[in-house]
Structure 1
Amino acid sequence: MQSFKITPDLAEHEVWEQFVEPMVRMLPTNVKGIWNHAFTEMFNNAIDHSGSPHALVTIERTAASTSIHIDDEGVGIFKKLKQELDLESESHAIFELSKGKLTTDPKNHSGEGIFFTSRMLDLFTIMSGELYFSHRHDFSNDWLLDMGKPTSGTTVSMALNNHSSRTTRKVFDQYSGTDGDYGFNKTVIPVALAQYGEDALVSRSQAKRVLARVNLFERVVFDFEGVREIGQSFADQIFRVYASEHPGIELTCINASPAVDAMIRRAKSGKTDRPPERPVN
């Protein structure tokens, strides 16, 4: 465990070289490469965005796996995103963060750090304010929990098997284009995170919230894991209206229940529940 004072001169690569890398030096090259990427991305976020005077790094290693935790005392990542991007709530901030390409500083950051880091690791969690976000490699559904009791700052926790076969390149390739195009062109949207509280996904306004910033990608996969059903207007707005207005964006879905799949197929067929227009005499 080591505390670092955040100053203009603090550099994430120096902390990696002096404190973290010696702890993972004996791990396989691909695993060490993932830790290099994950740690420097998340520690840089603490330096550039948290507003915290200090950052605490804790490393735990066993024969099977390694965990790294980064704690800061700043404003809180979800609160900062909500305020600076004028989002509806901190839950909304998490949903947008899960899509990728979200940043409060586009001049200096691409908004890709958390998206790719979370997918390289076995477990990636962020705890901030009253909310806890979790992404697991072996579980398709992202989790968003309301802890009820607010916490200060932000805690990022990461874990990876010491013998993982994953590589940074394999993860980047999953969300890149074809023909050698390594741009960040594909995203997977966990639709369940758009269900705030007891709200069912039924309206066009909810669909438009799900579709925010989708135009930044060429391929969009809507993951309906954890969503039992959706409304006709919600499906129609995404899979008929938006799809017809943006033919250059490939929209697909996975893990749809029979009820969700039926509503999507209905929308794609062009059927709506609107009453027919009266003919003009």
Structure 2
Amino acid sequence: MSRQAIARRIRKMIEDGELEESGRSRFRKLALKTTERRVWNLTLQGLDETIAWRETVAPAVSDLPENVRAIWMTGFTEMVNNAIDHSGGASVDLVFARTAIDASLSIKDNGEGIFRRIQRLAGYYDPREALLDLAKGKFTTDPERHSGEGIFFTSRAFDKFYILSGDLFFTHHHDADWLLDHDHGAVSGTLVHLNLLNDTERTMRAVYAEFSDPNSLDFSKTVVPVRLARHEGEKLVSRSQAKRLVARFEMFRTVYLDFTGVAEIGQAFADEVFRVFAAAHPEVSLTVVNAVSDVQDMIVRATAPRE
């Protein structure tokens, strides 16, 4: 597209109210204009997430394609149900905003906070250990009523997804990795933010299929960011770190170990994952992705035949 065509398109979007501008001349800034904004406060006791969906966000996305509405309904009901069943809070605030190209929803409860809750119930030393569990999927503090799949699939259905609770920020952008950020201010309760393009071609069926066995359709694959197994400033060298990483891997048939951001691993760590766990669970396929040469060399060393 030529610069002239881009300029014409920008002018048209400004005239149609899709873009708003601020500043003057070369300091002018353009931003997508919020065309719709709605806010709700809901009492959690006795709340039905499906009825809440019908009475709040559903009308605001009713003109969008069916696949987009399905993603919004899934994300809304999964995250609001989590607040109902797990937060321990009294209410939840919903903030929905829409522009010409996308829509976003923030869901904030006033409960204990997701990472602190997982730390308390799982007996973890640090709430950061909860991030690794959420990234794997199939983790729940209430297995009688929940499968532990809601956050995993919701995070992969939306273009942008993040959870902010306490001083921990956990995010997943579609086609990008999980990240951990310490720079956000502490937030009480749990805030979940969802963002989706209005014309996305993604479907919930495709999201489920990506991580499912084609024969049984069960949730059998996962992608695990290995760097979440370490605390800030640490290197991945110990067997205890490796055991935290591989915990619950036996619930999957295929595990992709994403080594993005990991420059090296220790012998004991590699041995525990690629020899000890692999030997104990031959039914689980471990696939390494995005590993630098130093990491690959240590994995080869751990899996080499012993004389």
* TM-score range relative to shorter protein: over 0.9
Whole-angstrom CA distance in 2 between matches of 1:46 and 1:69: 12
- Counterpart in 2 of 1:177? 213
Q: Where do 1:92-241 residues align within 5 Å?
A: 92-139=129-176, 141-147=177-183, 149-179=185-215, 181-241=216-276
Q: Is the 8 A contact 2:108 2:192 kept in 1?
A: yes
Q: Is the 8 A contact 1:221 1:253 kept in 2?
A: yes
- Counterpart in 1 of 2:41? 3
Q: Is the 8 A contact 2:225 2:260 kept in 1?
A: yes
Q: Is the 8 A contact 1:128 1:151 kept in 2?
A: yes
TM-score (norm 2): 0.85
Q: Is the 8 A contact 1:240 1:270 kept in 2?
A: no
Whole-angstrom CA distance in 1 between matches of 2:159 and 2:65: 16
Q: Is the 8 A contact 2:169 2:184 kept in 1?
A: no
CA displacement at 1:175 relative to structure 2: 0.8
Q: Which one of the candidate residues 53, 65, 69 is aligned to 1:28?
A: 65
5+ residue gaps, structure 1: 277-281
1:90 is paired with a residue of what secondary structure? coil
Matched, 1:261 2:296: yes
Whole-angstrom CA distance in 1 between matches of 2:246 and 2:146: 22
Matched, 1:46 2:83: yes
Whole-angstrom CA distance in 2 between matches of 1:235 and 1:148: 33
Matched, 1:58 2:75: no
Aligned residues: 269
The one-letter amino acid paired with 1:163 is D
In terms of mean alpha carbon deviation, does 55-64 or 258-267 score higher?
Answer: 258-267
Whole-angstrom CA distance in 1 between matches of 2:106 and 2:196: 12
5+ residue gaps, structure 2: 1-38
Whole-angstrom CA distance in 2 between matches of 1:144 and 1:175: 23
- Counterpart in 2 of 1:251? 286
CA displacement at 1:171 relative to structure 2: 0.6
CA displacement at 1:149 relative to structure 2: 4.3
CA displacement at 1:235 relative to structure 2: 0.9
Whole-angstrom CA distance in 1 between matches of 2:184 and 2:203: 37
CA displacement at 1:150 relative to structure 2: 2.6
Q: Is the 8 A contact 1:202 1:233 kept in 2?
A: yes
1:105 is paired with a residue of what secondary structure? coil
CA displacement at 1:154 relative to structure 2: 0.7
Cα-to-partner distance string for 1:10-29 (whole Å, 9 max, x where unaligned): 10000111111001111111
Whole-angstrom CA distance in 1 between matches of 2:174 and 2:240: 31
The one-letter amino acid paired with 1:238 is V
Whole-angstrom CA distance in 2 between matches of 1:133 and 1:236: 29
Whole-angstrom CA distance in 1 between matches of 2:125 and 2:138: 18
Please identify the structure whose Cα radius of gyration is greater: 2
CA displacement at 1:218 relative to structure 2: 1.0
Whole-angstrom CA distance in 1 between matches of 2:243 and 2:304: 20
TM-score (norm 1): 0.93
The one-letter amino acid paired with 2:128 is S
1:147 is paired with a residue of what secondary structure? coil
The one-letter amino acid paired with 1:178 is P
- Counterpart in 1 of 2:32? none
In terms of mean alpha carbon deviation, does 113-122 or 189-198 score higher?
Answer: 189-198
Whole-angstrom CA distance in 1 between matches of 2:250 and 2:268: 20
